[in-house]
Amino acid sequence: MQKKLKDPKLNKKKIGKFYICDLLDDKMKKKIQYILILCTLLSCSAFAQNPELITTVSKNKLGLNQRLKIQFTVNKQGADNFDPPNFKNFQIVSGPSQAISQSWINGQASFSQSYTYIIKPLKKGEFLIPYASIKLNNKVLKSKPVKVIVLDEVEIPKDPNDPNYIAQQNVHLVAEISKSSPYVGEGIYVEYRLYVSQNISVRDFSYTESPQYNGFWNQDIKIRGLNAKNGTYNGEQYRYVVLQKALLIPTKSGKLTIDPIKMDIVIGVPTGRGDFFGNPIVRNVTKSFASAKKFIQSKALPIEGKPESFNGAVGDFNFIVSSSKNILKSNESATVSVKVTGNGNLKLFELPEIKTPSELEVFTPEQKEKITINSRGIKGSVTKNYTVVPQFKGKYKIPSTEFSYFDLKEKEYVRLTSEDLFVEVLEGKELVTDSDVTSNSKKEIIVTGNNFKYIQTNSSFYLAKKSNFYASKLYYIMLILPLLFIPIGIVIARKNKARSNDVLGNRLRKADRLAKKYLSEAKKQLGTKEAFYVALEKALHNYLKAKLRIETSDISKEKITELLKTEAVHEDDINSFIDVFNSCDMARYSPVTAVEMKDDYEKSKAVITQIDKQL
């Protein structure tokens, strides 16, 4: 049956006995509309891409004997006249080599044109490679500068897939500061970030040394969870987490140093092999990392225009002085509040003091703080409450008080002055004035009885009881006592000599003291499984470092066994030492009782004592 169309305007083109619009139902027409709209959006998105000139480097940290590949890529066709940066402090080994790539995937058109250089550093240091430029449609596109750190010559591994080398190149511990030249009293932030490349993973980490903030008032800012984010470090894509963040306020001018944070990180490096099920095999490597030392150039506040009332306040503040009561009775108290609110170094300055007439008794003020410290700075209020008690009837004036601060935005001092306060006392004693004081006439002194006596002019003295020290008991005791110490000293000297000749006993006592020294931290953590076994394993590593003068961060249990055998340590003691390491590993993945932890502690103490006797 032929279906007739409602709109006669569509019946225009005829195919045989049917119109072309008759062949399409409503659903088919909607599908065609959606397809046309989708094609239009895809074509628009393909041509709406913003033109950019992007700089990428093969590595941002390299040794003096290594090479670096740097690539400049433009994502729009038609760009020409590429102008490379000035490779100062670098030697161009090869380049530029050009490459063009164009593709169409799932309706998305992409284009890239790249210029690649291989460069070699000429000296050590931290260098900034400037921007490159290229012309596109009479417009100049510029890339972003890239920072490259050149270190001492490194031992280039014969195997580029060496896990230790890969771990060192793909993990970076960085200290980021919000401002490098603040004023004294101005808050800045330091944020410690751990950058990890997409190729490896971090299994565990521990802090070995916390940063010191000498010359700063500091406050740690709580980090809510270690959330991984995507970011760019020196032109390369990384994942990163914020480990610590702190608010720093310089307390003096000049060059200040932020010491590095140091960590031991367990890194999972793919070996390039797979297991039976095709999953990649990962090798765990422990490496030590430290952030770079940061320097802050703190600026002194200007002397010009500095008011006398300035007491170190830096920021943006409001100031108010108020009284809880303006009318009161004698001996009835009122509270006068001096309050500063705003943003700035609220914890680092003193509030101004009020001046009151002598007829008002003022007690020691009470200071209250309502301060919030977070990633946006210090915000809140500081209030000083004075309790004032009038003594006499009358009306008294509390003069205005001035508060001043340094405004960071305007870079100038701001003065704030409160209004005068008046306190009226309605009831109480009248204040005695000078006119009410009557003059006193001089009167003669009347002597009655024995009120006054003459001063005695003669004195009589007699000899006190005399004692002879040389014939006393104390004299003979002090004479004989030193003679008694002679035989006691001889006995003690003989015992010390015998003890010093006891070589075996001395070695046992020394080994026992050494074991207690290295295991002291583990003993404190008894009862806390994870902290105890971490401290126990660290104590064993530190013992090997001290006795064998080696770095144990990269040494396996097999290597430790080989080193101890070289030092002629008994095989039973070596096995006991390795068993303690195995207990530390097993305890992280299985439940352990307090009795077992105590047993492992005693085993560690015994094995250190036995090994130390043989070294």
Q: What mean pLDDT do residues 351-365 have?
A: 86
- Asked whether residue 410 is domain-assigned, the answer is yes
**Torsion over CA: 169, 170, 171, 177 (sign):** positive
Q: Which of 204-218, 271-285, 479-493 has the lowest mean pLDDT?
A: 271-285
Identify the helix (H) or strand (E) that includes residue 29: helix 26-47
Give me the helix-helix angle, 571-587 and 594-614, nearest 10°.
Answer: 150
Do 522 and 398 have their domain in common?
no
Looking at residue 16, its pLDDT comes to 41
Instruction: Please check the confidence at residue 356 and state whether its pLDDT lies above 90.
Output: no
Do 330 and 294 have their domain in common?
no
- Asked whether residue 182 is domain-assigned, the answer is yes
Do 325 and 420 have their domain in common?
yes
Looking at residue 94, its pLDDT comes to 86
- The CB-based long-range contact list for 103-112 (8 Å cut-off, 24+ gap) reads 107/39, 107/42, 107/46, 108/42, 108/45, 108/46, 109/46, 109/47, 110/75, 111/75, 111/76, 111/77, 112/73, 112/74, 112/75
Q: Tell me which DSSP letter residue 8 carries.
A: G
Do 17 and 97 have their domain in common?
no
**Where on the phi/psi map is residue 305: left (φ > 0), alpha (ψ -120 to 50), or beta?**
left
Task: Give the 3-state DSSP-derived string for 55-94, with helices as H, strands as E and coil as C.
Answer: EEECCCEEECCCCEEEEEEECCCCCEEEECCCCCCEEEEE
- Of 383, 398, 425, the position where a domain reaches its end is 425
CATH number of the domain where residue 143 is located: 2.60.40.10
Q: What mean pLDDT do residues 344-372 have?
A: 88
- Preceding omega of 307 cis (within 30 degrees of 0): no
Q: How does the average pLDDT of the chain come out, rounded? A: 79
Q: What mean pLDDT do residues 52-73 have?
A: 84
Looking at residue 504, its pLDDT comes to 57
- Of 271, 298, 325, the position where a domain reaches its end is 298
Looking at residue 610, its pLDDT comes to 81
**Torsion over CA: 590, 595, 596, 600 (sign):** positive
Q: What mean pLDDT do residues 398-416 have?
A: 92
Q: What is the pLDDT of residues 41-60, one digit of tens each?
A: 444 444 446 788 888 887 77
Looking at residue 2, its pLDDT comes to 40
CB atoms within 10 A of CB 484: 8
Of 325-334, 373-382, 451-460, give the range with the top mean pLDDT.
373-382
- Asked whether residue 157 is domain-assigned, the answer is no
Looking at residue 17, its pLDDT comes to 38
Of 224-238, 381-395, 432-446, give the range with the top mean pLDDT.
381-395
Q: Tell me which amino acid residue 308 is.
A: E
- Asked whether residue 470 is domain-assigned, the answer is no
Looking at residue 157, its pLDDT comes to 65
- Of 396, 425, 454, the position where a domain reaches its end is 425
Do 288 and 178 have their domain in common?
yes
Strands 310-323 and 334-344: antiparallel
Under 8 Å CB-to-CB from 16, ≥6 apart: which residues? Answer: none
For 294-330, b/e burial (b = at least 16 CB within 10 A) is bebebeebeeeeeeebbeebbbbbebbbebeeeebee
Q: What mean pLDDT do residues 68-75 have?
A: 86
Q: Which domain holds residue 251?
A: 163-298
CATH number of the domain where residue 546 is located: 1.20.120
Do 257 and 371 have their domain in common?
no
Nearest to 67 by CA among 59, 77, 56: 59
Q: Give percent above pLDDT 70 in the chain.
A: 78
Do 292 and 181 have their domain in common?
yes
Q: Which of 338-352, 353-367, 541-555 has the lowest mean pLDDT?
A: 541-555
Q: Which of 12-21, 22-31, 304-313, 571-580 has the lowest mean pLDDT?
A: 12-21
Instruction: Please check the confidence at residue 24 and state whether its pLDDT lies above 50.
Output: no
Under 8 Å CB-to-CB from 174, ≥6 apart: which residues? Answer: 192, 193, 194, 195, 233, 291, 292
Strands 334-344 and 327-328: unpaired
Phi, psi angles (nearest 5°) of residue 611: -70, -40
Do 170 and 294 have their domain in common?
yes
Q: What mean pLDDT do residues 70-92 have?
A: 85
Instruction: Please check the confidence at residue 300 and state whether its pLDDT lies above 80.
Output: yes
Do 28 and 85 have their domain in common?
no
Do 138 and 199 have their domain in common?
no
pLDDT band at 319 (very low <50, low <70, confident <90, very high): very high
- Asked whether residue 562 is domain-assigned, the answer is yes
Report how many domains make up the chain.
5
pLDDT band at 326 (very low <50, low <70, confident <90, very high): confident
CATH number of the domain where residue 274 is located: 2.60.40
- Asked whether residue 330 is domain-assigned, the answer is yes
Q: What is the pLDDT of residues 568-606, one digit of tens each?
A: 888 888 888 888 878 777 776 677 777 788 888 888 888
Q: Which of the two residues, 491 and 402, has the higher pLDDT score? A: 402
Q: Tell me which amino acid residue 282 is.
A: V
Do 122 and 180 have their domain in common?
no
- Asked whether residue 28 is domain-assigned, the answer is yes
Do 144 and 68 have their domain in common?
yes
- Asked whether residue 251 is domain-assigned, the answer is yes
> Residue ranges of the alpha helices (H) in 84-233?
163-170
